[in-house]
Amino acid sequence: MVDEEIREHPEKEIYSAIEEIEKIILFNKNNSNSMRHYQHPYGSYKNEFFNEKITNYTCNDISVLLCIKDRPERFKIFYSFLESFLIKYNINLIIAEGKSDNIIDKQLFIKNNNVHHYLIDLGNKWSRSVLLNFAADKCNTEILILSDVDFIYSQAFWSNIEKMINKVNLNKVLIGLPLYETHDTYSSNNKLVREKYESFSACYLIKKDIFLNVGGFNTRFTGYGWEERELQKRLKLNNFFIFYSGLEYPDTYVLHYSHSNSFGRDSLTNKINLKLWKEQKLKKIEFKTNLS
């Protein structure tokens, strides 16, 4: 069984993190000069992407796309927080799971018509790119949230997301959502990798037609790492803007259930993916749902 690094009281930790993050957000709202938690080099803020209400999207137009392999215990945590929102806001959850010996328990959601589960055989490979592309291909809503199994969505997120998607020009942007760690995260050499509650973008919202038209994620990327930056590069070449929502809509935050080596930057796979990212110069690629 794969070690999923689940701490003793994950729900308590998550609720505690939500409480602390909401204090930070409230403080920053009341102190205009305190913007450290909302700035990130992978996203920017420009007024021209805001309008008065220009669309009439609801949460019903959103699908959360989840890629997963060998993480059944983490899925229980993920789903325990999302289940009530799926029903309350009529959101779709599309699960693309890599086939393994540790399949998630379908009994958790078997009677929920908003959940769609697909099992994909990638052999002994793992590819975030393939699984999220597969989920996007099966999705029938206009808006996608590209998610991982350790992303936790709070009530604040679903209470504020409709306002944001109706005031940001989604025909022009990939939106990076504020993502906060639930816990201090350390690397293998005990170095603090990311300070608790320091926001950044690794969870994205995008229109499905834009995602598919540029080719989705490049399925030459295996494992995870740099596939999202390569997608951003292609979007920018096609005159799309990478927009970070935390400055204007800080309440649309997501929690990352922290774990050691969260970012895997020393792995061989990561180095290969980094090389692919640097070499990529195409505006569009073929959309695929299998390893290239």
Q: Is pLDDT of 265 > 60? A: no
Q: Is residue 292 situated within a structural domain?
A: no
SS3 126: coil
Residue 181 β-bridge partners: 256
Q: Is pLDDT of 41 > 70? A: no
Q: pLDDT: is 224 or 217 the higher one? A: 217
Q: Which two tokens stand for residue 80?
A: 């325990």
Q: Is residue 212 situated within a structural domain?
A: yes
Residue 263: band (very low, low, confident or very high) from pLDDT cuts 50, 70, 90: very low
Q: How many domains are contained in the chain? A: 1
Cβ–Cβ under 8 Å, residues 103 and 119: yes
Residue 205 β-bridge partners: 145, 175
Residue percentage of the chain with pLDDT more than 70: 88
Q: Is residue 5 situated within a structural domain?
A: no
Q: Is residue 241 situated within a structural domain?
A: yes
Q: pLDDT: is 200 or 38 the higher one? A: 200
Residue 32: band (very low, low, confident or very high) from pLDDT cuts 50, 70, 90: low
Q: Is residue 169 situated within a structural domain?
A: yes
Residue percentage of the chain with pLDDT more than 90: 64
Residue 27: band (very low, low, confident or very high) from pLDDT cuts 50, 70, 90: confident
In this predicted structure, what is the pLDDT of residue 127? 95
CATH number for the domain harbouring residue 110: 3.90.550.10
Which residue range forms the structural domain that includes residue 223? 10-23+35-279
For 84-114, b/e burial (b = at least 16 CB within 10 A) is ebbeebebbbbbbbbebebbbeeeebeeeeb
Q: Is residue 202 situated within a structural domain?
A: yes
In this predicted structure, what is the pLDDT of residue 13? 93
Residue 50: band (very low, low, confident or very high) from pLDDT cuts 50, 70, 90: low
Tell me which DSSP letter residue 182 carries.
S
Q: Is residue 234 situated within a structural domain?
A: yes
Q: Is residue 191 situated within a structural domain?
A: yes
